[in-house]
Structure 1
Amino acid sequence: MSELFSDPAPDDARERRSPRWVRWSGFLAGALVLIVLTAVVTLGVTRPNTPTPDPGDSGSETAEPHNDVPLAFGAQDTVVATTTVPAGPSRSHLLQFDVAVGATPTATPRAAMVGLRVECHDESGRVEMQAKGNQTTNMFVSKGGSMSGQALSPETDQELRCDLLASAPYIEVEEDGHSSLPLTAELRVEPTDGAHHLALHRLDDATLVREGRTVNVLSRQIDEPRDLERMSTTLRLTSCTVVGGSRDRGPNRCTASMTGEESSTVRVKVIGRWLDDEGEIRSASTYWDEVLAIDYDTHHVPWTLRQDAMGDMVPEDASSMVLVVQVESIAGTPFVVHADGSDSVITTVPRGS
């Protein structure tokens, strides 16, 4: 079964020439950092940006109202949103978050780095998350920005208190008097009658993608494809327009010789490969196909995709399937896909016979 998760075969190359839908994304210009591009979409398209309260329908059994909080310059792990997972049958819990940083007028251009992660505790203390929702991006203080993502708890039957933690480590108070970023945050538990599964095949470390190369970043086999309900994916991408920031645990993957001002043109696809009773690939469908440009001033792009109604595309003769999240360098400067913070959570709900 290893070929199901390996880098694409020629059949995938042919599939790339006839995309179902492609959207180009541009970015604003700046010095070294730019407001984050957050491309968050679904098959029944929704795009989280600024969280908005909806007292009548939170979309979750346990979601608490969104919070408006100041994130102090230099802050580390400030709690900006909280939700509670009630005790119940042992299962993993999908937590999704949306954050907006408001614009603050400044006399001169100033940039800030904002980091996010999710942490949960039971009555014994902090629990080890399957996915922490690590996100980091840069933005101009005068423009603000937005971030979205997801985390996955361990399997548990205990009540959990989960916090969304935010940091702004590399900005200091200056003569303009500004000392914090205005932040609006929402953290919610996504209820399901089924189960949440983390992608099993993931990158081990930050991976360099040069022009013409395609890499399978995330994948998982689903033995009952008609049970497939939705999928939440985040990729952390860094352009080699500069060397810094292109590492996870090892060295920077970008080198000085490959840097330049040319944008990195990235294609992201979500593919379903349909298998027969023998485990052989019989056909493939494209769930999502998007092209984005990481320009010289952007450098970092956290990319988040939320898809619903995925079982509707399953062929009648499919015995099982493999979901694959794939990136390709189409043109320009190489880029890096980070293992830390790149993950997919797949939700299945038994539909019966």
Structure 2
Amino acid sequence: MNILFCYSSLLIGNVLIVILIIHQRGNHSEKTGVESKLKTSSNQISTNNNESTCFTTTTTTPPPNWYCVICSHHNCNNDSATICAGCGSIFMTNIEYLNFVHEQEKQLLRYQEDSKAFQEDLREQAHAAYYKNNDEFECIICYDLIGKNKGVLFHHCLHPMCKRCLLQMIETSTEPLLKCPHDDCTTIIGERELRGVVKDMKRDQKLVDRLNEIGVRWAESRHKTFHCITPDCKQWWFIEQVQGNNIVYCDGCKHWICMTCVAVHEGQNCLEYQEDLKIRAMNDITARKDQEHLEEMIKRKEAMHCPGCQVIIQKLSGCDWLQCTQCKMEICWPTRGPRWGPGGRGDTSGGCRCRMDKGKLCAKDCQNCH
């Protein structure tokens, strides 16, 4: 009775399991000899750990009518074939296969350890000023070879740069925004990264403050920029960056800025804030100034009352179609009224009726209220 021991591997969770399959072919008297040979093969695993286990070729000549250790297919049609006709795997002896399984298990453990270390490293760097480089790299500016963890990886583009060259950029720049120096990269280097490098190089944070001051002066001289309304905050944005957003988070003062009310009213919607502002304006000087500021904006036609809920809204740029963030009414900015009739979108029985009368615009200065 011939007994053929075949092994198959199965990955369950993160555990590699070797399955032993016993094929009975012949008399029982030969079983002991096969088991003894298998035991000898198992003992030899530790001595063959340094051998390659990528079995793309084999130096072992298959015996006649051999059985595949992977799928148990009986290869009897071509005695000289080293590829199993059943599963396409290469011929392996018991020793080779046991070494192969053992090596796969070691590779799995190495992968798990590397993955765990990588995740821990990411968690540590998540709140850091900048990412550290895991590999050596050549600085794109000075061409020096920068060792592991000695350079800077920018958060948004992950391009590397040496700290010395970045510090020199900070010290000499006459522009408020520093861009990544790598070719075809338009990423703006964040203030947190700049301050982190200045701190590591033991230089004064006034270097970064100088860039912020340049940025504020530059922003205030441009028409399509928006400066943070929080006192002493130097953060600013291009209008295109905040257009379409009801609220914007300021990295400088850590507040949410309402672009509709041009105010900070965290925890209140626009209607609640504006109603509360009217009440506080009776006794609170600051609130009164805010209320007067909103009223002045309405007089200058920089803001308006929503015709639906009366909340104050404003348009920063773009076309003349607006939607109230409070009641969701669609509004025509030039006429200061509803865009559509009582039935909502598509109802031309009311609203501004733009382009309905032979293409006539709702107002001379209409910039498409669609």
Q: TM-score, normalised by structure 1?
A: 0.20
Larger strand fraction of residues: 1
Larger helix fraction of residues: 2
Rg larger for: 2
Q: TM-score, normalised by structure 2?
A: 0.19
